[in-house]
Amino acid sequence: MSDRTAVYRFFDAADRLLYVGITHDTRVRWAWHKGNAKWWTDQRRVAVTWFDSRDEATAAEYRAIQDEAPLWNRAHTKAAGRAPYAPPDEVAAEIAELVQLHHQRSDIEAEYRAGLAALTDPDGERRVPVAFLAELLGVERKTVYRHTGRSMT
């Protein structure tokens, strides 16, 4: 997998910055936002900057959130009346790795859910029975339905 990573900014119709994020696959990450982010219906424009490494992108995302104060970001924001936490240098690399793993997990989860939904789409050409996928994945049918955003009825 390439380390090439994007930092993206979503803006609303008034060109207010709604959200700053990071991903290696914009298609998958944005599909996740579409299904989960409260601000998604307000977004009208996106700006994307690509970086050669995840570390560069993580630093740029942090700076953007700190400097540009997006309306919907929660991570990396300054708490009112308190100085932001500054980790000791000896744990900075571990923290950066943890943040990277978190974003990878989110990207993988979004890709998993999109793939599962495509396989079980009742209107699609490639319908796979939910019961088969549930057994294969070792989960209950209701879990597959929940992950696809569909009702069991």
DSSP character for 38?
T
Confidence tier at 13 by pLDDT (50, 70, 90): very high
Confidence tier at 76 by pLDDT (50, 70, 90): low
pLDDT of residue 126: 61
Q: Is residue 79's pLDDT more than 50?
A: no
pLDDT per position as a tens digit, 123-151: 656 678 888 888 888 888 888 888 887 77
pTM reported for the whole predicted model? 0.53
DSSP character for 20?
E
DSSP-assigned beta bridge partners for residue 19:
10
Express as a percent the part of the chain with pLDDT over 70. 87
pLDDT per position as a tens digit, 82-96: 455 566 777 777 887
CA terminus-to-terminus distance, the chain: 39
CA–CA separation, 65 and 60 (whole Å):
9
pLDDT per position as a tens digit, 21-46: 999 999 989 999 998 888 999 999 99
Report the CATH fold assignment for 5-87.
GIY-YIG endonuclease (3.40.1440)
Residue 102 and residue 74 in contact, taking contact as beta carbons nearer than 8 Å:
no
Strands in 17-23's sheet, in edge-to-edge order, are 17-23, 5-12, 43-51
Question: Please, what is the angle between helix 89-120 and helix 130-137, to 10°?
Answer: 150
Domain boundaries, the chain: 5-87
Query: Which of the two residues, 91 and 76, has the higher pLDDT score?
Result: 91
Provide the strand spans (E) within 38-126: 43-51
* Of 71, 67, 61, residue with least CA distance to 16: 71
